[in-house]
Amino acid sequence: MLKINPTQLQSDLDALNQFGHNAATGGMNRVAYNEADMQARRWFDAQMRELGLTVRIDAAGNSIGTYAGSQNLPPIALGSHTDTVPEGGKYDGTLGVTAALACVRALKEANIRLQHPIEVINFTAEEATMGGGTFGSLAMAIGLPTGYADKPAWDGRPVHAHLSAAGIDPAGTRAAKRAVGSVAAYFELHIEQGGNLIGEGKDIGIVEGIVGIRRYLLAFDGDANHAGTTPMHLRNDALVKAAPIIHAVRDLALKHSIVATIGSMSVKPGASNVIPGRVDVVAEMRSLKGSVLDAAEHDLQNITESLGGSYARMSIKEEMICDEQLQQALVMACGELCLSHRYLPSGAGHDAMCMAAICPSVMLFVPSVGGISHSPKEFTSLEDCVNGANVMLGSLLHIDAQLS
């Protein structure tokens, strides 16, 4: 059975993680378009060329390496990203691109050409540091919304300033958009950003889909007044009004079997000697089922208004359901490799979410020790990395035959 080279995969992971490594903390600092990120991208491009892939960089800065197929068919794409959050880990994104390279290397060393060309894609700015996440895949599969480049990046500067410094024309990113059907299928290997697999002793996670995400602004008005001279029975304290919403959001998440979080609360005027006159609460809910989110949203609105607050939806990202045929190809590969698996959703967004707009898309997860990600403590064993890469390789062989 065709398998990837474990030693080479480890070597590629180590080489890539030299860029942006903080020796003092162990964290990775390849924030999109900083020097370490650009060095890593150039290194990865060089590895693809050394392997004989034809490499091009599109108008959004995505690197695309092509391993030719035997037929004139749309390519099957394998990909992820090399950028990190500040002080991030060594596997998030990095494993996906190095494993994709390992799959193509295994094919080439075995002198195998699939019927479909294979594309290895290193998406740019996947992490939410450039005014939002999945910048490169959003540009490729959906198109960037108007005004995106004017949004503030993680450091407060506008996104267009980072793009221009990296040699990307902010006004020209629309040329990166690809047509529906121009890619035959998309696979993405990633560490699980949670502890399900490690906790259950499962080798592989077959991702059913990526959850929908909805965010809300809940506002509570009161009367700002002197904290020392206003009797308690005469106060209209906005924070007292808002306080029950914290438990209410937790309780509605349990009721609907979703996850929900209050991650931001602003108390105004924010002085210790002034009764709060306004409280703004940002709440978020995530689920793989839009109908469940609809019901939870209805509850959230009713609870907020019953407490005297106002409710407004800030943003919505629809859920993405992974392609069933690609899921089954992953299951078949797990069986051939005698690896255990379970189905699970992804609670975080990924490039696969965007790619689903133009082609069948799927993800697979491998265990992350402690369920930790976006941290210097992020760790996945080489054995698990290799297992994931071999499952992706096996599923690639199956889907090439099925889609031809």
- The structural domain count of the chain equals 2
On whether both 91 and 180 belong to a single domain, the answer is: yes
Written as six digits, the tokens of 250 are 């937790």
CA distance 206 to 117: 24
On whether both 248 and 184 belong to a single domain, the answer is: no
On whether both 14 and 144 belong to a single domain, the answer is: yes
Q: Among 144, 173, 178, which residue's Cα sits nearest to residue 75? A: 178
Within a domain: 1: no
Q: Residue 175, exposed/middle/buried by CB under 10 A (0-12, 13-18, 19+)?
A: exposed
Judge whether 123 and 70 are in contact, CB under 8 Å: no
On whether both 154 and 143 belong to a single domain, the answer is: yes
Following CA atoms 47, 52, 54, 60 in sequence, which dihedral angle do they give, to the nearest 10 degrees?
-10
Within a domain: 381: yes
Position 404 confidence tier, pLDDT thresholds 50, 70, 90: confident
On whether both 294 and 304 belong to a single domain, the answer is: yes
- Taking 90 as the threshold, does the pLDDT of residue 317 lie above it? no
On whether both 19 and 83 belong to a single domain, the answer is: yes
- Taking 90 as the threshold, does the pLDDT of residue 280 lie above it? yes
Where are the alpha helices (H) located in 193-287, listed in sequence order?
196-200, 238-242, 244-256
pLDDT digits (tens, 9 = 90+) for 13-41: 999 999 999 999 999 999 999 999 999 99
Judge whether 50 and 127 are in contact, CB under 8 Å: no
Judge whether 339 and 366 are in contact, CB under 8 Å: no
pLDDT digits (tens, 9 = 90+) for 167-207: 999 999 999 999 999 999 999 999 999 999 999 999 999 99
CATH (domain of 50): 3.40.630.10
Give the domain-ending residue among 317, 350, 381. 317
Within a domain: 38: yes
Q: Residue 235, exposed/middle/buried by CB under 10 A (0-12, 13-18, 19+)?
A: middle
pLDDT digits (tens, 9 = 90+) for 106-163: 999 999 999 999 999 999 999 989 988 899 999 999 999 888 999 999 999 999 999 9
**Owning domain of residue 259:** 212-317
Give the domain-ending residue among 289, 317, 345. 317
pTM over 0.85: yes
